[in-house]
Amino acid sequence: MPMSSTATSKLSVLIVGCGQIAGGYDADHDDALVRTHAKALTRHGGFRLAACVDPDAERRGGFRRRWGVAEDFAGLDAVAERRFDLACLCSPPEFHAAQLDTLLAMDVGMVFCEKPLTAAIAESRRLVAAYAAKGRPLAVNYLRRWDPAVAELAAEIAAGHWGGLLSAEGLYTKGIFANGSHLIDLAHCLLGPLAPRGVTRVVADYLPHDPTLEGWLHTATGAPLYLRAGDCRRFTVFELDLLFEAGRVSFTESGFTIRRRRVVPDARFDGYRVLEAGESRPTGLGTAMLDAVGNLHRHHLAGEPLASTGVTALAAHDICAALMGMADDRRTQ
Ligand SMILES: NC(=O)c1ccc[n+]([C@@H]2O[C@H](COP(=O)([O-])OP(=O)(O)OC[C@H]3O[C@@H](n4cnc5c(N)ncnc54)[C@H](O)[C@@H]3O)[C@@H](O)[C@H]2O)c1
């Protein structure tokens, strides 16, 4: 709900963790792509970077200078008595739970947390409930939910334009929690609730506690979503392929492109129906973080619903934790 700021003043922002997603990925790029919180907040124009926190003095100093942040601090304790309209939580996942607790106790209007929400499902559950109980808005950066191309496809699917889902396949690398959660969240957003059914292979391409899992899930109608693993030590990949009764929709290039192919009569063989060639089009992923902070700004001033929340992120985290449990069962058999 609207807090102290008015429509004419810029919202004050605290950035916690001054690494790549906070601003590093954009440090040397003044292009149209918006890869980071700092660039999104700066480009939007409705925010003021009031303070940043990072234990690494060099990191936070460089970040402060690059993005024109007013003040920098070594830890959250130093700003515990201050008020901010927004806090962006961009530290490593193992610090999220404790810092979400600290931010909840502070006078902070809303929190924009990096994924994964926390490093432990029990902590994610506890914190989502605590934020809800306090009425504190919590957004989570599953950024594809802010991509207009994703919202457009979700509306088409919900309206029945593609018919029922026959099957789906998601291809990813670099951990079920780190990146698989993006895939599960995107599938949730487009296909609705998923139920994990099994894990068939464990690929140790990332952190020991966050392998890339192959397996399958079911939608509410019983259609399967197969998870397929690449290997991030070779290359990064993120794709989602959806096969419907009326066609096929594929997100490729990490979701930067979408290809729609409708079912058409076969020009070569009478009586058959096939998929048209279709063409790949750019999505809005390249500026989804700008859409995200725009959504947060309007949420603060006018109560616009947040597209990606603690609740939606928790649903993805729950699925990833269940798949990880199945993988552990496989390894101990
Ligand atoms: N949404 C996305 O697509 C996306 C992409 C990349 C990273 N991420 C997420 O962003 C988060 C950060 O990832 P990154 O790639 O920027 O990592 P990074 O290592 O580049 O940056 C993390 C920063 O946090 C600082 N830090 C460490 N401990 C801290 C603490 N206790 N308090 C404050 N800062 C602390 C580090 O010094 C470092 O500067 C992770 O949760 C990661 O999963 C999300």
Q: Residue 11 — left, alpha, or beta (φ > 0 → left; ψ -120 to 50 → alpha)?
A: beta
Name the nearest CA neighbour of 175 among 236, 217, 127: 236
Cα(12)–Cα(41) distance, integer angstroms: 10
What integer is the mean pLDDT of 307-314?
98
pLDDT of residue 309 exceeding 90: yes
| Residues within a 6 A CB radius of ligand 1 | 16-22, 24, 53-56, 59, 90-93, 95, 114-115, 141, 143, 178
Cα(142)–Cα(122) distance, integer angstroms: 20
In the reported structure, the alpha carbon of residue 52 is separated from the centroid of ligand 1 by a whole-number distance in angstroms of: 13
Cite the beta strand spans of 104-256 per DSSP E: 107-113, 138-140, 165-172, 194-203, 212-219, 224-229, 238-244, 247-252
The pairing of strands 83-89 and 238-244 is unpaired
Cα(151)–Cα(159) distance, integer angstroms: 12
Note the pLDDT tens digit of each residue in 160-195.
999 999 999 999 999 999 999 999 999 999 999 999
State the average pLDDT for the chain.
Answer: 96
Structure tokens at 27: 């440090």
Cα(326)–Cα(201) distance, integer angstroms: 10
pLDDT for 211 equals 96
pLDDT of residue 4 exceeding 70: no
Question: Looking at beta carbons, which pairs linking 73-80 to residues 24 or more positions away fall under 8 Å?
Answer: 76/16, 76/102, 76/103, 78/53, 79/14, 79/51, 79/53, 79/106, 80/105, 80/106
Sign, CA dihedral 132-133-137-139, equals: negative
Structure tokens at 56: 């690494």
Of 35, 37, 91, best ligand 1 pocket probe by most atoms within 8 Å of the beta carbon? 91
pLDDT for 218 equals 98
Cα(272)–Cα(86) distance, integer angstroms: 56
What integer is the mean pLDDT of 113-126?
97
Residue found under tokens 């009586």: 271
CATH no., domain 11-144+289-302:
3.40.50.720
What integer is the mean pLDDT of 59-83?
97
Contact call for residues 244 and 187 (beta carbons, < 8 A): no
CA atoms within 13 A on the CB side of 162: 24
Name the nearest CA neighbour of 236 among 174, 320, 291: 174
Domain ranges of the chain: 11-144+289-302, 148-283+318-332
Please report which confidence band the pLDDT of residue 329 belongs to, taking 50, 70 and 90 as the band edges.
Answer: confident
- What is the amino acid identity at position 148? P
Contact call for residues 40 and 289 (beta carbons, < 8 A): yes
Cα(232)–Cα(217) distance, integer angstroms: 23
Structure tokens at 46: 């409705």
Polymer length in residues for the chain: 333
- Coil/strand/helix, residue 183: helix
Question: According to DSSP H, which parts of 135-166 are helical?
Answer: 148-158
Cα(58)–Cα(43) distance, integer angstroms: 25
Nearest CA to ligand 1 atom 40: 92
In the reported structure, the alpha carbon of residue 90 is separated from the centroid of ligand 1 by a whole-number distance in angstroms of: 5
In the reported structure, the alpha carbon of residue 119 is separated from the centroid of ligand 1 by a whole-number distance in angstroms of: 13
pLDDT for 1 equals 41
In the reported structure, the alpha carbon of residue 263 is separated from the centroid of ligand 1 by a whole-number distance in angstroms of: 43
Nearest CA to ligand 1 atom 18: 19
* CATH fold for domain 148-283+318-332: Dihydrodipicolinate Reductase; domain 2 (3.30.360)
Cα(246)–Cα(86) distance, integer angstroms: 43
Report in angstroms the alpha-carbon separations of 155 from 99, 159, 184, 322: 35, 6, 18, 28
Whole-prediction pTM value?
0.95
Report in angstroms the alpha-carbon separations of 196 from 165, 277, 292: 17, 32, 29
pLDDT for 333 equals 60
Note the pLDDT tens digit of each residue in 255-300.
999 999 999 999 999 999 999 999 999 999 999 999 999 999 999 9
pLDDT for 330 equals 77
